[in-house]
């Protein structure tokens, strides 16, 4: 049997990782500035993380959600405290797509409605409802097609107000990313987020903040939407939550009533997932990784804006989009092949994404900036 060929792959097979670095089977070291799609939050193979998971394996690795699991409550309490949402409730699942899927279901259950506003350039996942609110027809199968989703331009307040007038009585939810990741790191303006929050309250709809990539301190605050001072009804999380262990979740406003059987999952919130997530929070708090993300992100953004061939730098903290004057694919390949540096792409062919572990230090930042600048200078000289 062969693997179903759906991924374009680099000719690299990592066999070891630590901190912000990977090593391949030939012993070559790579600087990881992409974190496997923003998944690696506290760094690869963090010793506290490894000890937490290993210790749990000796006790019990799995049982279903039909029994008491105190680790789930421990995780909920710590997450509530560190995120600033102690009064919310937590539903645990396995991935970001699953988190968004459940958030959309909750919004529809709670309101009795089915219309959703999403935004152009959005990516929320590949499962049924999540892919329906994702702005990419190429990954929507005919079974995913629906008239229940309205796509609006990001940061267009007038378009949102007009859509609210048209669809308000049938609107279940508005779903928006804290920052658009796959779309090229486009940032919702604070006034726009505030207008959406007010509009949802007016229409009786729920505001879903997709913090799957932006959550867990990546932008310098626990959640990206906290820069705008708003409080969504539902917040979805995954990626950096488990530092590589599959886990996701939905933070749920207490006004949304829970009922037995309303949601469910086999693997969500299992023992290993909970200790992985607890270890991430413990390391983030102990090592002040949110503060580091803000500090290192500011440094990167300021330096990147000075480089030749850079049209725009977008983002906050360690979620950064670098829009170039030309397609970035050849530059990403050169960074990887010649300098051993992983970076990310986006749906905008000119925008390169940086999503490094939150533990990244000045040395790694300088290594990247030096390599990136040398490539851009060479391109500038060749062009002129």
pLDDT digits (tens, 9 = 90+) for 35-88: 999 999 999 999 999 999 999 999 999 999 999 999 999 999 999 999 999 999
| Mean pLDDT of the region 217-232 | 97
Nearest to 273 by CA among 284, 261, 281: 281
Nearest to 344 by CA among 190, 137, 141, 123: 123
Provide the 10 A C-beta neighbour count for residue 180. Answer: 27
Cα(231)–Cα(233) distance, integer angstroms: 7
Cα(368)–Cα(384) distance, integer angstroms: 24
Residue pointed to by tokens 């709809």: 205
pLDDT tens for residues 310-330? 999 999 999 999 999 999 999
The radius of gyration computed from the CA coordinates of the chain, to the nearest angstrom, equals: 21
Classify residue 299 by its DSSP letter. Answer: H
| Mean pLDDT of the region 342-365 | 97
Per-residue pLDDT at 381 exceeds 80: no
DSSP assignment string, 48-82: HHHHHHHHHHHH-----TTS--HHHHHHHHHHHHH
Residue 379 pLDDT: 83
Cα(219)–Cα(270) distance, integer angstroms: 28
Percentage of the chain beyond pLDDT 90 is 97
Cα(83)–Cα(224) distance, integer angstroms: 11
> Do 96 and 238 form a contact (C-beta atoms < 8 A)?
yes
DSSP assignment string, 149-203: EEEE-TT-HHHHHHHHHHHGGGEEEEEEESSBTTTTSBPPPHHHHHHHHHHHHHH
Query: 384: pLDDT confidence band, cut at 50, 70 and 90?
Result: low
Structure tokens at 92: 């645990």
Per-residue pLDDT at 380 exceeds 80: no
Structure tokens at 308: 């030749």
> Do 231 and 73 form a contact (C-beta atoms < 8 A)?
no
Query: 295: pLDDT confidence band, cut at 50, 70 and 90?
Result: very high
Query: 383: pLDDT confidence band, cut at 50, 70 and 90?
Result: low
DSSP assignment string, 224-236: GGGGTT---SEEE
Per-residue pLDDT at 377 exceeds 90: no
Residue 138 pLDDT: 95
CA 231 to chain centroid: 18
Looking only at the bridges linking them, the beta strands covering 29-32 and 21-24 are: antiparallel
Nearest to 20 by CA among 4, 45, 43, 54: 43
Residue 43 pLDDT: 98
Name the average pLDDT for the chain.
97
Residue 378 pLDDT: 85
Cα(305)–Cα(40) distance, integer angstroms: 25
Per-residue pLDDT at 382 exceeds 80: no
pLDDT tens for residues 113-146? 999 999 999 999 999 999 999 999 999 999 999 9
Cα(346)–Cα(183) distance, integer angstroms: 6
> Do 217 and 178 form a contact (C-beta atoms < 8 A)?
no
Percentage of the chain beyond pLDDT 70 is 99
Cα(176)–Cα(181) distance, integer angstroms: 11
Residue 287 pLDDT: 98
Residue pointed to by tokens 């959600």: 65
Nearest to 208 by CA among 282, 295, 112, 110: 110
Nearest to 178 by CA among 162, 163, 189: 189
Structure tokens at 159: 């378009």
Burial of 1 (0-12, 13-18, 19+ CB in 10 A): exposed
Nearest to 292 by CA among 220, 227, 241, 356: 220
CA atoms within 13 A on the CB side of 1: 2
């Amino acid at each position: 049997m062969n693997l179903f060929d759906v991924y374009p792959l680099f000719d690299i097979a990592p066999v070891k990782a630590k901190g912000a670095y990977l090593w391949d089977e030939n012993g070559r070291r790579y600087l990881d500035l992409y974190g496997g799609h923003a998944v690696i939050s506290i760094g690869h193979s963090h010793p506290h993380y490894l000890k937490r998971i290993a210790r749990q394996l000796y006790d019990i690795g799995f049982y279903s959600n039909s029994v008491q699991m105190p680790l789930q409550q421990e995780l909920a309490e710590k997450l509530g405290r560190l995120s600033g949402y102690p009064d919310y409730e937590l539903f645990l699942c396995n991935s970001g797509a699953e988190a968004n899927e459940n958030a959309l279901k909750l919004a529809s259950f709670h309101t009795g409605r089915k219309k959703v506003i999403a935004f152009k350039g959005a990516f929320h996942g590949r499962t049924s409802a999540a892919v329906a609110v994702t702005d990419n027809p190429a990954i929507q199968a005919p079974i995913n097609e629906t008239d229940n989703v309205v796509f609006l331009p990001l940061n267009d307040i007038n378009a949102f107000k007009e859509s609210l007038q048209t669809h308000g009585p049938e609107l279940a939810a508005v779903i928006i990313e804290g920052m658009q990741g796959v779309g090229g790191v486009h940032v919702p303006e604070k006034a726009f987020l505030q207008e959406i929050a007010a509009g949802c309250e007016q229409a009786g709809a729920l505001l879903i903040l997709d913090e799957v990539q932006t959550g867990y301190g990546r932008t310098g605050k626990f959640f990206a939407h906290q820069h705008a001072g708003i409080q969504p009804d539902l917040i979805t999380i995954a990626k950096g939550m488990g530092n590589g262990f599959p886990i996701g979740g939905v933070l749920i406003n207490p006004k949304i009533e829970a009922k037995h059987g309303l949601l469910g999952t086999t693997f969500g919130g299992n023992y290993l997932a909970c200790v992985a997530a607890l270890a991430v929070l413990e390391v983030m708090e102990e090592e002040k990784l949110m503060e580091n993300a803000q500090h290192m992100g500011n440094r990167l953004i300021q330096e990147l804006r000075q480089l030749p061939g850079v049209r725009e730098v977008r983002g906050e903290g360690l979620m950064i989009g670098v829009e170039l004057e030309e397609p970035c694919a050849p530059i990403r390949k050169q960074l990887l092949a010649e300098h051993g540096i992983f970076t990310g792409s986006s749906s905008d062919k000119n925008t390169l994404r940086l999503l490094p572990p939150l533990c990244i230090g000045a040395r790694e930042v300088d290594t990247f900036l030096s390599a990136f600048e040398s490539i851009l200078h060479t391109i500038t000289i060749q062009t002129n």
